[in-house]
Amino acid sequence: MTDPVISLLRDLVAIDSVNPSLVPGAAGEAQVAEAIAAHMRRMGLDVHVQDVSPGRPNVIGVLDGIERGRSLMFCGHTDTVGVAGMEAPFNPVERGGRLYGRGAQDMKGGVAAMIDAARIARARGWRKGRIIIAAVADEEYASIGADALVGGWKADAAIVTEPTDLQIGVGHKGFACATIETRGRAAHGSRPKDGRDAIMRMGRVLNRLERLDRDLQARPPHPLLGTGSLHASTIEGGRELSSYPDCCRLQVERRTVPGEGMETFAREIDDLLGVLGREDPEFEASQTLLFSRPPYQTPPAHELPPALAAAAASAGITTTTTGMSFWTDAAILGGAGIPSVLFGPGGAGLHSVEEYVNVNDVIACRDALASLALNWV
């Protein structure tokens, strides 16, 4: 018989919840949120739907014990990235111990595990404290779901069930994004004295950015998270083949480690444009900062990672604590004063055309979360 957590996972993967901020016109989280709300109501949880923006709800299920105690939050996002190039993204297929489909690993496997953990915990006699299960919107774009969640909900600790291969993630990098624009002067391609080439000017910027990236990656690494880095994301410029381009626009992303933030990146770009301006008085460029999110680290010596390691061991999982490369909502929970760690099932192919989660990992993750809830009193 199929384990109930896998039946739930299949139901969730079968629902299109592509993030509409990433892919205009995409389905969004409304339908998957409705299915999760209905499932949690059937489990007997007290269910709250938080409308973050139109068609973009969070669903929060609450289980209160008959004795007062500490609260434990499980948090996962319900949105997925797009499905371009996938043949049957919403048709969950199980093969060789893996469940395939968009969002199977990132992160409906973790969402199914955290929901079903409440059922198992209760069946095993859980009766003290509070379990809060938060299924949030929009992690893949701007995390408006997690932002809204921490506005209304608090907990003594949280597990974000992003895919970690069943390792305990106690931190991750942050990021900052900016646009750099170089300006030139449009002219007929035959008139080099009149034209100023904005794209060539961006070439100088790219050259400096590449050097900066090398410098960042050569710095002494943060013991958990490594070094910062940057990459060019998108570039556009020029109007037609036979004209000097008057403008070129580059989007660039910087990954940050503790001690670095938006201001760090702004200063680095300023410095680099300043150097180019001194080398060539005609050089003209500006920057606009777009968006940033901070890095995250679980407070050192916090009791949550060892408590989770013990719970995982009781579910047959050997864990180590580690830093994760990708940004998660743990930074938002942590920033709101909820000590958080990352712990979720393994798989592969997140954000790519073939995505799967390991079925046994989902079951083991669910069992570990249930044990943690039983001990977190």
What is the contact surface with Zn ion in residues (CB under 5 A)?
106-107, 162
Which residue number has the CB closest to Zn ion?
A: 106
CB closer to Zn ion out of 105 and 256: 105
* Residue number, 162 or 355, with CB nearest to Zn ion: 162
Q: Sign of dihedral through CA atoms 31, 36, 42, 44?
A: negative
Q: Closest approach of Cβ 124 to Zn ion, in Å?
A: 28
Those residues with Cβ within 8 angstroms of residue 307's Cβ, 6 or more apart along the chain or in another chain:
372, 375, 376
> Least distance in Å: CB of 190 to Zn ion?
52
Taking the least distance from each CB to Zn ion, the nearer of 110 and 195 is 110
Residue 50 CB, shortest distance to Zn ion, in Å, is 19
Residue 280 vs residues 180, 275, 284, 365, 370: alpha-carbon distances, Å: 17, 9, 9, 58, 63
Distances (CA, A) of 285 to 204, 207, 254, 280: 11, 14, 19, 12
CA-based torsion, 368, 371, 375, 377: positive or negative:
positive
- CA nearest 317: which of 165, 92, 121, 150? 165
Least Å distance between CB 328 and Zn ion?
A: 7
Nearer to Zn ion, 81 or 120 (CB): 81
Token pair of 153 as six digits: 């909900």
By beta-carbon proximity to Zn ion, the closer residue of 63 and 342 is 342
| Closest of 74, 189, 184, 79 to residue 137, by C-alpha | 79
Least CB distance to Zn ion at residue 344 (A): 9
